[in-house]
Structure 1
């Protein structure tokens, strides 16, 4: 059974998301204790935390905090997610890379198996295909471009402004590159790993600074965008107290991290602070066009969901069929060799006898295989589980 457990921006704001990470981990641990978990892939981004599991059998997952979807519903969600239909910014491309990274991480940690490998590989292919065959990502829309749009809506033109990017990871890179077509002053990049700050600064034709030298730059910064992976706040009211009131009241800060990098108390100093929750209200200029493209994407996703569901169902009986064929072939060849040794037949008669043994095995297995396939098509997983116990290694 495929299970997806998640929390995302649709049901939780940034604060609620922060408080839910440990709870979802605890729920996942409980599932591992009470059920047989065969495979797992974890997807964590700035506005969603999702866990995909393959369980040995249907398991009740009691929760009112998280969304739980199973089998074809979970498949449909992942395909929609990979296609950008579940994103805060419809059609954004970043999520596809994040899904690829989640798969790679699971491969590295050896938690992914044949079923989730098939599901995630298909999701990636569907996401790529939909972007190629529709205009769902019209205009290269992303969290980064929406962040810049938010800044311009709240602050005005960013031309000539001094901007500090804190965090040279995926989100920091996306936002900073969205600023490249603006006439800002050279963008300043701070990162705990100085080499990464230098690397991003080179791409931006900007300036890299060491993380511990950031405070020395703040009095010159108009806009601060923070997107690190730190587990705690980095910028607080106390840290900014040395700046003049005039400068603080002219500053705008955008926190794209989750957990958040910037404490809410900076607002008490007059700083304008925005976070991921504010991005959902950014005016999307191309949204109507993308909604029409989404209708095309939905049709593709519906078809692919059915195909993938059927493929997963077939995988339920693959080990049974393989074991049956291997065991039958072993018996056939052993008995054939004994018989040929006793009868001392010529080559022509030996071939006839071999064909006969093949025919007997095929006829004996025919109804078993037919009934197993019928059980799959009827979602009769109880029969399949019984067949596994009888035909494979029996486990209490």
Structure 2
């Protein structure tokens, strides 16, 4: 069984995502204690946390507000929609594809992504690419990062000649910074815990980089602060802002927190700062979704077709051990009998390859229909045929 456990922007507010993300980890530990987890893969972004598991069939009953638990076809359809940008807050955004690729690579590196999830995520990424190629789902689409810039621009009126502080030089921070380049800013300052990374991004953008210990100094005269770090706790609190920012500047300052967990303490808003987080980007997401409804319909057709192919390939995976046995037994038999024939023929003047090729072709043709029929039986859940094949060809039955 393929299981998907998730919490995302569609089912919960950002604060709930922070809380329930810990719950997902606890559920994973619970499942691991009571069942055999064959494979698993985790996805964490600023507005979702998901876990995919391959386990033996069992009854699972986890019910919390905001938490979604789906299995098999529902879980597979979801990951194809996710890769296609249909499940994103900003529909059609491209960033999710990179996030899925990174999650797959990490799971492979950790040794927890086996043939089933590798097959599923390779297909999902492929489908995401096809959808973007055959539809206009991502045409003019904005990422969460660029949506944050649009929000700041909407509140401020115009970012021209403004000073912007970007906190975090990771993937999200980079998207934010690049979206700011065209705004003709007075200055862009990048702060990151790893200073070399901040320097690299700042150089690319024509801005400046600072160490984290100079955040208070950078806050002093910033017009806009956009924060997107991976810190486990707030890095900008009430006291820091009160002490760093002049009173007359507070009500003019805009802060957009797109981190999860959040980077900026909610109490900062009490000082007069206009503070926004991921939940405030929902309005932009809603407009974006309306613009792309027709393209989403086209994407769904592609997903339905690709889902059939994915389901079929997973069915083939189920009988791969049996097919492997057949192929190995056939090849061992071919080698053994070919060697006998060559000994009986004696010197055939260097024509051994002809005999080898002939034996290989004969064996392939004999077993090709058998293997084809086993795959068809798997696709159709034909248990009688599969049990008969197991009885005839499985080494375990001998």
Shorter-chain TM-score bucket reads 0.7 to 0.9
Partner of 1:15: 15
Q: Out of 386, 391, 394, which is 1:391 matched to? A: 394
Quick one: which of 253, 267, 282 aligns to 1:251? 253
Instruction: Provide the rounded CA distance (Å) in 2 between the counterparts of 1:193 and 1:105.
Output: 21
For 2:209 and 2:255, the matched residues in 1 are separated by 19
- Aligned to 1:18, what secondary structure does the other structure show? helix
Structure 2 equivalent of residue 4 of structure 1: 4
What is the RMSD of the two structures over their aligned residues, measured on CA atoms? 3.1
Out of 165-174 and 146-155, give the one that drifted further. 146-155
* CA distance 1:139–1:367, shift in 2 (3 Å): closer
Residues 299, 265 of structure 1: CA spacing in aligned structure 2 closer, same or farther, 3 A cutoff? same
Shift in Å, 1:139:
1.3
**CA 1:356 to 1:48, structure 2 compared with 1: closer, same or farther past 3 Å?**
closer
Structure-2 separation of matches of 1:280 and 1:159: 25
Partner of 1:166: 167
Which deviations, in whole Å up to 9, do the C-alpha atoms of 1:89-144 show, x marking residues without a partner? 11111111111111111122122122222221221122112112211111142112
Q: Which aligned pairs between 1:26-45 and structure 2 lie closer than 5 A?
A: 26-45=26-45
- Matched with 2:351 is none
TM-score (norm 2): 0.87
**Equivalent residue, structure 1, for 2:60:** 61
Alignment pair present for 1:75 and 2:76: yes
- How far apart are residue 207 of structure 1 and its match? 1.0
User: 1:252–1:324: structure 2 CA closer, same or farther, 3 Å change rule?
Assistant: same
Equivalent in the alignment of 1:24 = 24
Task: Identify if the C-alpha distance between structure 1 residues 382 and 183 changes in structure 2 by more than 3 Å, giving closer, same or farther.
Answer: farther
| Aligned equivalent of 2:277, options 262, 269, 275 | 275
Instruction: Note the C-alpha offset of 1:281.
Output: 1.2
Question: For 1:177-192, what aligned pairs fall within 5 Å after superposition?
Answer: 177-192=178-193
Cα deviation 1:58-112 (Å, max 9, x = unaligned): 2222211321222222222111111111100111111111111111111221221
Distance 1:235 1:385 in 2: 63
Q: 1:241 to 1:355 in 2, by over 3 A?
A: closer
- Deviates most, 109-118 or 327-336: 327-336
Give 5+ residue unaligned stretches, structure 1. Answer: none
Any unmatched runs of 5+ in structure 2? Answer: 349-353
Residue 238 of structure 2 is matched in structure 1 by 237
Deviates more, 1:89-98 or 1:284-293: 284-293
- The partner residue of 1:293 within 273, 284, 295 is 295
Q: Deviations 1:236-292 (Å, cap 9, x if unpaired)? A: 112222133222222111100000011111112111110001101127665444211
* 1:293–1:319 distance in 2 versus 1, CA, 3 Å: same
Write the distance in 2 (CA, Å) between the matches of 1:380 and 1:61. 27
Is the 1:165–1:176 contact (alpha carbons within 8 Å) kept by the matching residues of 2?
yes
How many residues are treated as equivalent by the alignment? 388
**Where do 1:218-229 residues align within 5 Å?**
218-229=219-230
Q: How far did residue 50 of structure 1 move?
A: 1.0
In the TM superposition, what whole-angstrom CA distance separates every residue of 1:14-44 from its partner, at most 9, and x where no partner exists? 1001011221011112222222222222111
- Name the structure 1 match of 2:306: 304
Q: Is the 8 A contact 2:116 2:314 kept in 1?
A: yes
2:182 is paired with a residue whose SS is coil
Greater Cα shift, 181-190 or 113-122 = 113-122
Which residue of structure 1 lines up, in the alignment, with residue 267 of structure 2? 265
- 1:49 corresponds to 2:49: yes
- In structure 2, the residue corresponding to 1:379 is in which secondary structure? coil
Secondary structure, counterpart of 2:91 in structure 1: coil
CA contact (8 A) 2:91 2:285 kept: no
Shift of 1:381: 6.9
Give the whole-Å Cα distance in 1 for the aligned partners of 2:386 and 2:262: 47
